[in-house]
Structure 1
Amino acid sequence: MAIKSTLQCVVFLMALITTHLIPPADADAGSPKVALASILPALDAHESQYYVSLVGISLDAKRLTRIRPEMFARRRGGQGGCVIDPGTPLTVLAREAYRVVEDAVWSDLRRNRAERIQRQGYGLCVRKTAEIKRHLQSLSFHFAEETARLVVKPEELFTAVEGRLHGPALCFAMSPGERTVIGALQQVDTRFVYDLKDAKLSFASEPCSQDTAGVD
């Protein structure tokens, strides 16, 4: 039941995310706060999602050197690659990349004396304490374009999960899979604009409240 409650919260957050298909003139790409990434050409005629070139990941300000661009290589038939999908609640990382990221996250938590515990459906959870919350780090996705970096804040990198035996836990809100899908929780407070004419994806930090102001 605790996991179901967490996912319901994610679904609510998804409603606040704005993903638009609008002309490039409205993308405000000239703003210094807007990052641009290229939308990759389709490999198959039936592709319905837009792929971007993910090349690296950082934990806080430190680039994870064991992460290699080929971990996100795209193949025909919908295999591999990286998409940004508000319909996926939590981010899925390609398995090889996930192992590297989880190891780095746990290594940092362990240095800060976190207690690792088990929660069904999550690969990494620690006992929730005020001290551990203060030490949570951010994570950044680096795209092929040098300045294109999507920063995930600590509160979107971990999710709180209740438990009867060990009390509340903080769980790493990503899972391993066959390809990388940047999900809804890791998109919160970010506006994405798809410019299909010029094959560009622009994104920038923007509070969700700006889209919900005045709504009863």
Structure 2
Amino acid sequence: MYIEMSTARVKSIRRSRVTSLSPTEGLIRPKLNKQDFSYLVQVGIGTFMDGFPRSKTYYLQLDTGSQISWIQCEGCINCLNQVDPPFPASQSTTYLPFLCTECPPDTICRNNKCVLDIEYVDGSKVSAIAAMEVFTFASQGESNHPIKNIVFGCGFDMQNFHEGGIDKNKLSGVMGMSNGLYGFMEQTKLIFSGMFSYCLQPIFTQGSSPMYLRFGNDVLPQPIQMQVTPIYKYDGEGEYYLNLQGISVGAQRLAIRPDIFAIKSDGTGGCIIDSGTTLSWIVTGAFNVFKDAIISFIKDSNRDNNWRKMRKHETEYKLCYQRYKLPNTIVLPVITFHFENNADYVIDVKQSFYLGTSSKGRDMVCLQYFESTIDHHDGVTYLGGVQQANKRIVYDLQNSLLHFGPADCSNEN
């Protein structure tokens, strides 16, 4: 389940319509939650006359690689199992589906509804009614803050979503944070000036200290050690492409040509930062060099042979080591992604390696990076959510810049 959920989801929808937004005051600061291997945004959706608050609260996956937000709605077929009831769109006084006479591009009229068909590379699919609705977020104070006319998908057919198998699953859909025309940041650019930020706690750690998604003027001042690299768009799509120029394992910069990470003329390749992809994926030509360097580092740094490479995979991880004798310590390398503008993205050992227990009850260590092939991931290199933990990451979309630096994400206040 872990690896299936971490598979990069490549979106097929292209945007060509921007909705109007109501003027707003104050700053929103929605809470972020962890569930299994996802980061969830707490969002109020709709307007209801009974009870308080007026909206209904749902949890959407924080996905900087997705170009539209969607939520599972009432009357769904092949429904995603979730704790909260599906969104009751028919009861919301502000739910406004598009008419077939004005279907947005890349939707089709089906049963008198404009339908979005969203396909992901891991085999999961969503069919959703294209509509507009009020999204409500927590603010800095105690009040809630509504944003009107957000274009989203009201999902009625969800297939092959592994999240539905999680006990007490809270996830109800996706918060599309890309810069595509229907992405949340594009729709709200007049409000937040294309600025948002997050600081993610490691997915495997316990604890309840708050995390927040910050926008506009609420983006925290950047510490001195923040680095910056350009953000690129490809062919009008909204994914956040970065110019990856190399990778280091420990102190060794690997002999990988920078053009291996470049976007090809057919649209394959490139490097994307994507919070909705749990783990990181590296294009084939670089991954083989990377994996060999990891093996050599562990062999050279652990001469007592107390850890040995596992021949049989007990998980979906492709490179694991098992402890055979004491001591139980193992020396592992820091991984660095080298981006344009001499911006070094240093990934801590705890974000690069999974620490667990084998079927024999022995300590086990596994590499949390995977090979991105042309056939399965279009050869795209993904910087996934696990490898973004304990970093303050700031997206400045007006200036097409990504700022990042080390941070203690357990102290967000």
Q: Decide which moves more: 121-130 or 136-145.
A: 121-130
**With CA pairs under 8 Å and 6+ residues apart, which has the higher RCO, 1 or 2?**
1
* Number of corresponding residues: 205
- The 8 Å contact of residues 127 and 166 in structure 1, kept in 2 or not, is answered as no
| 1:1-216 aligned within 5 A | 9-11=36-38, 17=200, 22-23=215-216, 26=219, 28-29=221-222, 31-40=223-232, 42-45=233-236, 47-64=237-254, 66-76=255-265, 78-111=267-300, 112=302, 113=305, 114-117=307-310, 118-119=312-313, 120-128=315-323, 131=327, 133-146=329-342, 148-165=343-360, 167-177=362-372, 178-211=379-412
Q: Give 2:280's aligned amino acid.
A: T
The Cα shift of 1:19 comes to 8.9
Structure 1, unaligned runs of 5 or more: none
TM-score under structure 1 normalisation?
A: 0.82
The Cα shift of 1:131 comes to 4.7
TM-score under structure 2 normalisation?
A: 0.45
Give percent identity, aligned residues only.
29
- The 8 Å contact of residues 126 and 169 in structure 1, kept in 2 or not, is answered as yes
Deviations 1:26-70 (A, max 9, x none): 4645x4311000012x2312x121101000111112211x22211
**CA shift in 2, pair 1:197/1:98, >3 Å:** same
Structure ranking higher in helix proportion: 1
**CA shift in 2, pair 1:60/1:131, >3 Å:** farther
- The 8 Å contact of residues 322 and 358 in structure 2, kept in 1 or not, is answered as no
- The 8 Å contact of residues 328 and 363 in structure 2, kept in 1 or not, is answered as no
CA distance in 2, matches of 1:25, 1:197: 16
Q: Decide which moves more: 87-96 or 108-117.
A: 108-117
The Cα shift of 1:71 comes to 1.2
CA distance in 2, matches of 1:189, 1:10: 15
**CA shift in 2, pair 1:157/1:132, >3 Å:** farther
CA distance in 2, matches of 1:24, 1:95: 40
Structure ID, larger Rg:
2
Structure ranking higher in strand proportion: 2
Q: Give 1:116's aligned amino acid.
A: K
**CA shift in 2, pair 1:70/1:25, >3 Å:** farther
Q: Decide which moves more: 159-168 or 95-104.
A: 159-168
**CA shift in 2, pair 1:166/1:67, >3 Å:** farther
